[in-house]
Structure 1
């Protein structure tokens, strides 16, 4: 059941101070993402293992910055790089705290896929900086490809995945991914944003399925009862990896195109 969920803006949705930033047309995928899609799934040895997750914060680049494939442990892994002229890491930290309380804000990010977003605790009062999202659950509905998913994004501190604490030149947005329909977790992500001479770049990493499937609040437990639920969410690993790569590239490039102006207008909130 989709209930009151719908794509885009309707009625008076745009009648907000930020409504002018809703842009239904999205740019084409960057060339480096198109090339990764043309290459198809990568061999597991060319991909980033979850045990090496924190290495995304190191200097330089990894063997696969844009690509997807299935790892030996049965999980699938996705990597995407987004170049963002004029953007700073601090803008992304602000965004992850600012957008989660209002579906109309969430839809700015991906107008063709995002449906709804709300904080599980429902309360933004008194929160500042990264504490507006770290330690909180974002309950979202969105399309990945043609599959509508109801997710629970559980943000954690960068240190939990071995990344350095956030600083002026680099920020790591880290989270556990799961279902909002059942107490099942299915993956992890890191969006590592670092400064570049002309702005910033985001290097996204996802690890989905396989050993990352667990009963929520029961680390290390992956009962037979939850695996069918996880399987329905995850789908075919190769197809889902491709769809996730496209989705991430679309939303990050889209928002980066107007994030400096959005931040200039609302960054003080």
Structure 2
């Protein structure tokens, strides 16, 4: 596709919804004399980490540390409405100062409305008002669009960048476009040095774990029971009922928990997955981290009626879990039960895990890590499952 046509389509969608643009018809991409495009790979940074970062730059210290060679100053003029989210906070306004190619560039950056919103699409849309230049030409603002997705290994991100600059930019900053392109590449590469750890600490552990509670109880001599209670916004019981048979791939499994889930495969695939009743007898093999402990698990869907006397909520999944190396020896079980919350804008969920007591001997703190993990992974579902479920055409509706 011709780049002007592609940019025109993008700007038409952005402009129709962005509060700072008067009318989409006023944007003519032919007026943008400079359109910079490039592809870039970001090692070790998953798309969800980028989604979080845009809303959590927050301070001048973080902004400067992001790229010390060019970042000078940062002010958050309009904070993100919901920084503890993986949805781009449209309308966030940041005043920034950068030193690039011998020029000090002051600008106001506003997060626009993403227009790639299908399940699995990740996008940053930013309108950049260049200080002192916005009134000198029409259009006077620049636009930056990042589209990104998991790389082939699912360990990093492949990103496509488009930067459209007004004609006056070349006059005010002659010869800067190539330097600007390399500066953007440096910004993106630098994220590998700090963002994965920051995302794990601030979002996975601090934010997601705070949305529920867990407790560990003694269950006879051999077992310990981990009970996790939480509320998950944006989900419905039907979404959860469908999800169990449709995890399907390592890609989806990693989206469920970007920093702890490693791989997924069906050893016995569900017989009829495209509905809202899970398939008894389906068996999956997963590899994941529970805190510092890497485990390979076999998980088998069991008849739900066998757990009917153990649940309080209207919907549930019942399963047997085995450590792959201890298959059939001291098998464990789990129940995820849930129903619509009182406000009707999400679900309440209780997860119950029965595990052998000796796991805390060989993996100290195992039951605590299990409780934390259940909070983390279930809270992640709200950021992709609604869109994924909306794209499905179900064979039937039951349960």
| Higher share in strand | 2
For residue 173 of structure 1, what is the aligned residue in structure 2? 317
Alignment partners' CA distance in 1, 2:291 and 2:305: 31
**Aligned residue pairs, count:** 201
For residue 368 of structure 2, what is the aligned residue in structure 1? 242
**Residue 158 in structure 1 maps to residue 304 in structure 2:** yes
CA contact 1:69–1:238 (8 Å) conserved in 2: no
Q: Aligned match of 1:29 in 208, 231, 236?
A: 208
Alignment partners' CA distance in 2, 1:206 and 1:136: 19
Note closer, same or farther for the CA distance 1:74–1:183 as it changes in structure 2 (3 Å cut).
Answer: closer
For residue 86 of structure 1, what is the aligned residue in structure 2? 234
Unaligned runs of 5+ in 1: 1-6, 11-16, 37-65, 211-230
State TM-score, norm by structure 1: 0.63
**Map 1:74-153 → 2, pairs under 5 A:** 74-99=222-247, 101-121=248-268, 123=269, 126-130=272-276, 132-153=278-299
CA RMSD of superposed structures (Å): 3.3
How far apart are 1:200 and its partner, in Å? 1.1
Alignment partners' CA distance in 2, 1:32 and 1:254: 11
How far apart are 1:207 and its partner, in Å? 0.8
Unaligned runs of 5+ in 2: 1-43, 48-117, 123-148, 151-195
Q: Aligned match of 1:252 in 370, 378, 385?
A: 378
Flag the structure with larger Rg.
2
Note closer, same or farther for the CA distance 1:201–1:8 as it changes in structure 2 (3 Å cut).
Answer: farther
Q: Deviations over 1:84-141 (max 9, x none)?
A: 2231111011111111x211111110011101111112x4565443555422111111
Note closer, same or farther for the CA distance 1:177–1:119 as it changes in structure 2 (3 Å cut).
Answer: same
Note closer, same or farther for the CA distance 1:182–1:238 as it changes in structure 2 (3 Å cut).
Answer: closer
